[in-house]
Structure formats: C-alpha cells, structure tokens
Structure 1
Amino acid sequence: MTKLKVLLLSCILFPISAWADVVDSCGEKVECIEIGRWDVGIALGYGNRTNPLKDYDDIPIYLVPTFAYYGDTWFFENGNFGYTLSEQEKFTINLTTSLSSDSAYFHRWDPSNIFIAGTNKFEPRSLLSSTAPTPTILKAAQEPEIGELEKRHFTYFGGVEAFFYTRAGTINLSLAHDLLNVHQGTEAKLKWLYNLAIEDWKFELALTLDWKSEELVDYYYGIRPGESRYWSQAYQAKSALNTGVELTSHYVITEHWDLLFLARYTQIGDEIVASPLLNEDYTSTFFVGAAYRF
C-alpha cells in the first residue's frame, strides 16, 4: 500500500490570512496585515473534515472566521497568542500558543473545527489539501467491543517556533508542550512552505512532519480500563509521526471579496492507526466558498 497517495486539488482559494509572495514583500497583489489594527474576515461556503475515529461522524464546515491583531512584538490570531523574540531578514523566532488538533475529532465544536485557517504571523498556515481515496483500515474479526468512551479534553499548547526564509521557500520548526496539564504531551513540527503569486492568483504548497509524544497519543487514542479491559492492555501507545501535504490558492475579486477553496491531507502515523478507536489511516479536509475581509 502506498504510504501517501495524494491528488492535489487545483484552484484553491483562501483570502483570510495574510500572504507573502516568493520574495516575502508586500505589494499591490500581496496583502499583509497592518501592525496595530484588527484584521477580521469571514468565509461562507461548504467543506468537510473526515473523522478517522470509528463511530464518529465527519465534521461539516460552513463558516470560517478569522480574527487577528499584530503589535510590534506580540500578536493574537484565531485564539492563539504569540510574542516575537527575534525578527531578522533570514529568520524569525516566536514564543507562541497553539490549539490541540487531536481533540477536534472528539468534539464537534472544538476550536480546531472552527478556526480551520490555523495561525501564523509570518507565513499563512494554508489549509488543507485533497487526496485520492485511501483504503479503510481492516481490523480483525470479532474483536472485543469498546464501551462508552470517557471524555477527551481540549488543551492548549505553548512553546517556541522559528521561521527560516530561503529562495526555495520557508522552513518552519516548532516545539510545544501541553500548557493545561491535560496529558503532559509534546508536539514537534517541521513544515516547508512555498508561495507563488500569478497576477490575482495566490498559491501556497506545504509539506508537514508532525511528531506527537507517547503521552499525547495515549491520552487521545489509548483505551482506559473502564472502556475496555482487553484493549487497555492490548494497545500500548507510542510516539507517532504524521505526514501531510497542503495546497492553498485564492483568487482576488475585489478589495474585500475573494473566491476560495482549501484542501489538506494527513497520513496518520502507524502507532496511532493501530488504536482500535480508528478505522481509517488518514484524514482530509476541504472547503470551497467565498470570503469577505473587513
């Protein structure tokens, strides 16, 4: 089985986040968020986030809000806060918070299912990418059933991130730890982004490696004894590495209106796929519609 079969969708449009072109400058065709003012946008359309959890519904997306404010050194975007430690021509280093993406599968109104645009002061975290169909994970016949799941709570992550700007794109490194002492887990990400502007079209391609610690994997995908005594012993959580590809593009209609389509594909790590809670080894998201920036 191919580990990552991805069919990228074309014509992907998203105006809400600030864009940087291949030379990281702000010009007539590239919008940057002004320091000292709120940047507010809303997108209306239709989208869907597939849920790899067994017996959990996919998550429909009809509205995508964006709220952002940038000061000289601190910033707020879509529920996350950050502080810039160093900003140079070749790199930027921030202290920042981030949302828990794994809790989104368990809760329909999790913040990650609302602010799907993500957050990023210096490079837009373009959403989503599309994928070719991936076979459903086959489980052994007549496995012991799992009872009603205990609640998996949302948490905030806090840590440090760095951006390195090169001619071949931007490299983003981040390391974050559970701030609310929910699972005491850690996440580390490596992301490569490349932006291209062609007249009124803006495109961004991103490749992502997302490492999750054993504590994080066990909290969300492990089985408690009260849920299944058999599976609490049979499945032993380990740290996992998810891989992803993203493509974002948007087309500017007017100063305030854009057309949009967003897509993301994530191949879930084998250590998570082994959990009896999952029946798919991937998750994908798309959104298509129109966006207004105030």
Structure 2
Amino acid sequence: MFKAKLLLIAALFSAMASADEQSIYAAQSGWQFGLSTGYGKIDNPVHNSDDIPLYVIPNIEAFYGDFAFTNFELSWTPLSYDHHQLSFVAKMNRDGLYFIDSLASSSVLASLTTSALPGAPRPPSAQTQPNARKRVGNIQNIGERELSFLGGAQYLFDWQQWRVSASVFSELTHYYHGQQAELALSRYQQWNKHLVVASVQMQYQSNELTKYYYGSQRPELAAGFSYYQPQHAFNTSVQLTYQYQLDEKWRIISDIKWQTLDDEIADSPLVSKQHLLSYYAGVAWSY
C-alpha cells in the first residue's frame, strides 16, 4: 500500500515565528530553529492509501544576504521594497509524496513542512462519488512516480494586513517537464498574543504534471486500472491558521486546510478523494 504525506504550510509558520504588531510578513535575518509537537492528519487522495498522521514538525531557517533556506525551500530575493518582493525559488513538488512506498521516508519529508487543527468534521462530499468509467486495480503495481523538484519565480505584494502571492514554477528534475503556478490571497488579524491568518489559493498544474502523477498507461492497465489521461488542472484551497504566543519562545499553533482537486485529477482511477482535509495542532518552541 502506498503511503505518503503532503507538504502544507511550513513557509507560513516560518513567517509567523517572530510575528509582531507591525507585520507578520517581516523578513528575518541570521538563523532560526523551531520544533512543534502535537497531532494532525493529512488526507492522501491516492486509492487505497492511508491518511497520514503528524506528530513532530521541525522548522529550520537560515538567512544570508538575499538568500534564504527554509526546510526544503531555497530562495534568492534580488528585489525587495516596502510592499513588493520578487524571489527565485526552488522547492519540492508535493504530489510526489503521495506515491512514496516507505512510510518512514514520507513521514520524515512531510514532517519537515506541515501543520493544522484537530477534530474538524469532514463534509459529506469529502469522498469522491463512484465513477462508472473507473476501473480500479492494485495500487502497488502501478508505474514509478518520482519525487520531483520545482524552480521558478514568486512575487509578493504586502499592504497593511493583506498579502498577495503569485508564483510560476517549472520542473527541474526532468521526469515530466511540466509547470505549476499558484495565486494566493492572505489576511492576518492580531490581538495582543492572538494571531489569525486566513487565506485562499488557486493552483494550476499543467498536462505533463497531471499525466505523470495521475494518468494511467501501460503499467497501470496491467495493474487493473482503466486508461486515463488527464489535462491541466486548477485546484483550489482555503486555509485558517491560529496561534497564541505564550512567551518569546513558546506558542500554541493550529491550522486547518481544505483543498478541492480539479475534476481532471479526481476522475483518475488512481484517485479516490476529491476533497482533502488537513489539520494540525500543537505546541511550538523556537530559538
């Protein structure tokens, strides 16, 4: 059985790590280490694959001039003004984590970048309805899906309590030569030690990316799956984050994310869920 974890919002928690009254989006300097313990879960949409528990989430940041490293994300920011920022970023593509065979390996990779809120009810439509065109086989016998990396540019615009983020990435590892783009709008509200961040996001994935991870060809046909070749996809998500600052080093953190996969992905015989719920809550320490 394939088991894996999903990369979620370590970058957002990194920005929140030293939030002040002026802006949670202020850039950091030097290095920072943090660790949170708690419980959470990430939905895995791949057929017959377990959802993924989360327990310990490390946060490692290093800044040197215009360069920054945050867990699995490396960025260079040549242009930075009061409200505008342009960066070039290399990061891991989350889709590959769904297909990792080793639970231990996927746990380590996902725990480096995750978080969310416990006990959230699953809406009735969270499970994809059966599709008569789908023929489902043995997920263990499908073709190999490699973990890929993306590189591209990200533009940020900050105004008061709002942030607009736009990014475009291309695959660097040459498994499928695809592209991915993201557009997000976030707003934060802070009251003394309480901080709430709400965001909405739209994600574009090209034909090459969706076919590589969610398409079915000869190996999948031999494993008993029906033939399927998806086109480009637009995935949407909403996210709510809350933190309470106990003191300079300790915080209570929680996060919940609800993602809807495009029908192009949900109709794949390899996929059994269209709506993905991810959450985490715990206590975080930073140094």
After TM superposition, the score normalised by the length of structure 1 is: 0.82
1:186-265, aligned counterparts within 5 Å?
186-228=179-221, 234-265=227-258
- Which residue identity is paired with 2:187? Y
CA distance in 2, matches of 1:191, 1:31: 14
| Relative contact order higher in (CA < 8 Å, ≥ 6 apart) | 1
Partner SS, residue 48 of structure 2: coil
Please provide the CA RMSD for this pair: 2.8
Pick the aligned partner of 1:81 from 46, 50, 74.
74
Displacement of 1:104 in angstroms is 1.8
Tell me, yes or no, if structure 1 residue 133 matches structure 2 residue 126: no
Deviations 1:209-252 (CA, angstroms, capped at 9, x unpaired): 00000100001101131221698774121000000001111001
Displacement of 1:72 in angstroms is 2.0
CA distance in 1, matches of 2:257, 2:235: 13
Gaps of 5+ in 1: 1-13, 118-126
Gaps of 5+ in 2: 1-10
Deviations 1:41-70 (CA, angstroms, capped at 9, x unpaired): 011111100111111000110111110011
CA distance in 2, matches of 1:291, 1:226: 44
Displacement of 1:38 in angstroms is 1.4
Q: Which residue does the alignment assign to 1:104?
A: 97
1:1-294, aligned counterparts within 5 Å?
16-19=13-16, 26-27=20-21, 34-35=28-29, 37-107=30-100, 108=103, 109-110=105-106, 113-117=110-114, 127-128=115-116, 132-135=122-125, 136-140=127-131, 144-147=135-138, 148-167=141-160, 169-228=162-221, 234-294=227-287
Distance 1:143 1:19, change over 3 A: closer
Q: Is the 8 A contact 2:40 2:116 kept in 1?
A: no
Q: Is the 8 A contact 2:168 2:179 kept in 1?
A: yes
Q: Segments of 4+ in structure 1 off by > 6 A?
A: 230-233
Displacement of 1:204 in angstroms is 0.6
CA distance in 2, matches of 1:190, 1:15: 15
Aligned residues: 268
- Which residue identity is paired with 2:130? K
Displacement of 1:145 in angstroms is 3.8
CA distance in 1, matches of 2:221, 2:48: 16
| Greater alpha carbon shift after TM alignment, 87-96 vs 135-144 | 135-144
Distance 1:232 1:216, change over 3 A: farther
CA distance in 2, matches of 1:81, 1:30: 20
Deviations 1:270-293 (CA, angstroms, capped at 9, x unpaired): 110010111111111111111111
- Which residue identity is paired with 1:201? H
Displacement of 1:176 in angstroms is 0.4
